[in-house]
Amino acid sequence: MEVDPARVGRWVEGFAERHGPHTTTAREYGLLLTAADGSTAGLYAPPGAPVGDDVARFVAAAVAPRRIGLLLARKGAVAVGVADGGDLVVSKVDSRYVQGRTAAGGWSQQRFARRRDNQAKAAMGDAADLAVRLLLPEVATLTAVVCGGDRRAVDIVLADRRLAPLVPLRAERLLDVPEPRHAVLVAAVTAARAVHIRLRDPEPG
């Protein structure tokens, strides 16, 4: 589940109410809560946030404003932005037509496939240009770059040599988003800042 950083403290209190007192262990991803009944909850720090070593520090780090880059790519559409805290302060959305699949066979199918591949490559080239213009000038101020959409499309964009300074900032989190639009980019800011919680019930027996 995804929880707004400001609600994590209350969620942890509810976890204790439901499952009993818990121990807290620092992990590379964040915190692991282990309750008296054997239930566990893994709290994954948002991209760019320090993990902390207890719930109070974890929450303080998660809610603190951070400057992150956003790169969403799917098919021929791309959205690039910079968020300062919960506000999208820089943004640009672009799209190119990429032909859909055809039911035709033989040479026609191969011709359409080549055309579609060329259109997709051109679209990802435009996406890389957009990232160069919007994200590279901000790289020194970013704590993370959060990507979303189609992983292969994102990988192709970030393979552009000009974007090498962004690669070390790329977060493991990949946002599941529809075709990028401005509204999708705005919603991605909230998703990028959310705390992921993985809850596991006690082992049988």
Sequence-distant (6+) residues with CB within 8 A of 87 are 189
Element (H, E) at 111: helix 106-134
Model confidence band, residue 74 (pLDDT cutoffs 50, 70, 90): confident
Per-residue pLDDT, 99: 43
Q: Report how far apart, in Å, the C-alpha atoms of 154 and of each of 73, 127, 148, 158, 174 are.
A: 6, 9, 8, 6, 10
Q: Alpha helix (H) ranges present in the chain?
A: 8-19, 55-63, 106-134, 151-158, 182-193
Q: Greater confidence, 54 or 109?
A: 54
**Of 161 and 109, more confident:** 161
Specify the CATH class of 67-193 in words: alpha beta
How far apart (Å, rounded) are the C-alpha atoms in residues 118 and 181? Answer: 23
- The pair phi, psi for residue 93, each rounded to 5°, is -120, 140
pLDDT digits (tens, 9 = 90+) for 129-164: 999 999 999 999 999 999 999 999 899 999 999 999
Does position 2 have pLDDT exceeding 90, yes or no?
Answer: yes
Q: What is the DSSP letter of 104?
A: -
All CATH 3.30.420.60 domain ranges in the chain, comma separated: 67-193
Q: Which residue has the higher pLDDT, 94 or 123?
A: 94
Q: Is 97 helix (H, G, I), strand (E, B) or coil?
A: coil
Rounded to 5 degrees, what are φ and ψ at 180?
A: -60, 125
Give the tokens for residue 27.
């992990």
CA dist 162 and 120 (Å) reads 19
